[in-house]
């Protein structure tokens, strides 16, 4: 097959954090985390081919389709690290809301690395891809795993896990209109009010089918965007359990039989399932 003619279509999933502990602030300014990450069926579609000139298009006109986009940066990093001479043509069909804590940009960057490695005949090892991914963003390495992982460090240390053994029906993402900036949420974090959960114990419980959901970034996100407390309380009062901010927000992950759009008509609502790369 002439690789220069091949076109790849890749699904680039969002993620949720089923628990998220912030352990401490590090000397490099990042925060040490311990979190359970899971990919979900809400995702973007990336179409990728080799070309004569770098070209990126995006269905969402609010996102820059230039060298500041994580997709472009991932492709450039791949070219620089492999020293291969190629150009790319990429189209990004955006479905994952931005500024939501769902890892959309990181997932797109990981899909770009995986896709280029495939199109170019596999010049990079999995370990190469993990280390280049970590340079692009804290969450990017997770999206190279099959889809369930215990994540530590600043987010770049990933331990892949098997399918989680608890019932996963009637799951939803509820995204209020306003988004949140990840650095702003970390800046607003009061390190004195972090939870006292032991993440290793919580992980063991999840693996035994006894999930315990929490997110240490919730209070910081709620202080920046007080309407998030209203959204969470409304869902809890309507019987949803858990109702949990994903990452730094502003999207919530919740479980309940009724469509949340019926009680929160101004939010974007997505029915979801947990998915894994095959």
Residues catalogued as catalytic: 15, 139
**Residue 29 Cβ vs ligand C5P, minimum distance, rounded to whole Å:** 6
Q: Using CB under 6 A, which residues numbered 182 to 211 contact ligand C5P?
A: 182-183, 186
By the rule CB under 6 A, 35 interacts with ligand C5P: no
Query: Which residues, 6 or more positions from 176, have their beta carbon under 8 angstroms from its beta carbon?
Result: 225, 227, 228, 231, 250, 251, 266, 267
**Residue 2 Cβ vs ligand C5P, minimum distance, rounded to whole Å:** 37
**Residue 27 Cβ vs ligand C5P, minimum distance, rounded to whole Å:** 12
What residues form DSSP beta bridges with 214? 19
**Judged by CB, which is closer to ligand C5P: 22, or 272?**
22
By the rule CB under 6 A, 155 interacts with ligand C5P: yes
Burial of 40 (0-12, 13-18, 19+ CB in 10 A): buried
Stretch that binds ligand C5P, among 4-12, 26-34, 45-53, 261-269 (CB under 6 A): 26-34
Q: Are 163 and 148 in contact (CB under 8 A)?
A: yes
DSSP 97: P
**Judged by CB, which is closer to ligand C5P: 72, or 240?**
72
**Residue 94 Cβ vs ligand C5P, minimum distance, rounded to whole Å:** 18
**Judged by CB, which is closer to ligand C5P: 137, or 176?**
137
Cis peptide before 261 (omega within 30 of 0): no
Q: Are 242 and 271 in contact (CB under 8 A)?
A: no
Beta strand residue intervals within 140-217, DSSP E: 148-153, 157-160, 171-175, 214-215
**Judged by CB, which is closer to ligand C5P: 180, or 267?**
180
How far apart, in Å, are the Cα atoms of 119 and each of 32, 47, 123, 130? Answer: 35, 12, 10, 18
C-alpha span between 85 and 7 (Å, rounded):
18
Q: Using CB under 6 A, which residues numbered 79 to 138 contact ligand C5P?
A: 137-138
Angle formed at CA 180 by CA 232 and CA 16, multiple of 5 degrees:
60
**Judged by CB, which is closer to ligand C5P: 157, or 238?**
157
C-alpha span between 212 and 231 (Å, rounded):
20
**Residue 147 Cβ vs ligand C5P, minimum distance, rounded to whole Å:** 19
Residue facing ligand C5P at closest CB distance:
138
Stretch that binds ligand C5P, among 30-38, 201-209, 214-222, 229-237 (CB under 6 A): 30-38
By the rule CB under 6 A, 31 interacts with ligand C5P: yes
**Residue 102 Cβ vs ligand C5P, minimum distance, rounded to whole Å:** 13
Stretch that binds ligand C5P, among 48-56, 122-130, 179-187, 239-247 (CB under 6 A): 179-187
Strand order in the sheet with 171-175: 243-245, 252-255, 171-175, 268-272
Binding site for ligand C5P (CB under 6 A): 30-31, 33, 137-139, 154-155, 182-183, 186
């Amino acid at each position: 097959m002439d690789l220069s003619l091949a076109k790849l279509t890749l699904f680039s999933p969002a993620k949720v954090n089923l628990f998220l502990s912030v352990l401490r602030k590090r000397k490099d300014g990042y925060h040490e985390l311990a979190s359970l990450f899971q990919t979900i069926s809400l995702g973007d579609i990336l179409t990728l081919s080799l070309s004569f000139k770098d070209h990126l298009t995006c269905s969402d006109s609010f996102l820059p389709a230039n060298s500041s986009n994580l997709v472009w940066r991932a492709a450039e990093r791949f070219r620089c690290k492999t020293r291969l001479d190629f150009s790319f043509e990429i189209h990004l069909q955006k479905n994952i809301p931005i500024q939501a804590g769902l890892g959309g940009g990181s997932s797109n960057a990981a899909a770009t690395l995986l896709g280029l490695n495939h199109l170019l005949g596999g010049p990079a090892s999995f370990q190469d891809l993990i280390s280049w991914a970590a340079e692009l963003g804290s969450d990017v390495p997770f999206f190279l795993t099959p889809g369930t992982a215990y994540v530590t460090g600043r987010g770049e240390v990933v331990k892949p896990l098997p399918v989680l053994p608890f019932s996963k029906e009637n799951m939803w993402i509820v995204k209020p209109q306003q988004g949140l900036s990840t650095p702003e949420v970390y800046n607003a974090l009061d390190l004195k009010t972090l939870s006292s959960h032991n993440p290793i114990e919580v992980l063991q419980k999840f693996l035994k089918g006894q999930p315990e959901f929490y997110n240490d970034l919730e209070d910081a996100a709620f202080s920046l965007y007080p309407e998030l407390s209203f959204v969470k309380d409304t869902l809890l009062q309507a019987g949803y359990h858990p109702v949990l901010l994903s990452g730094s927000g502003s999207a919530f992950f919740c479980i309940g039989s009724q469509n949340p759009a019926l009680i929160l008509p101004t939010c974007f609502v997505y029915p979801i399932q947990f998915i894994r790369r095959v």
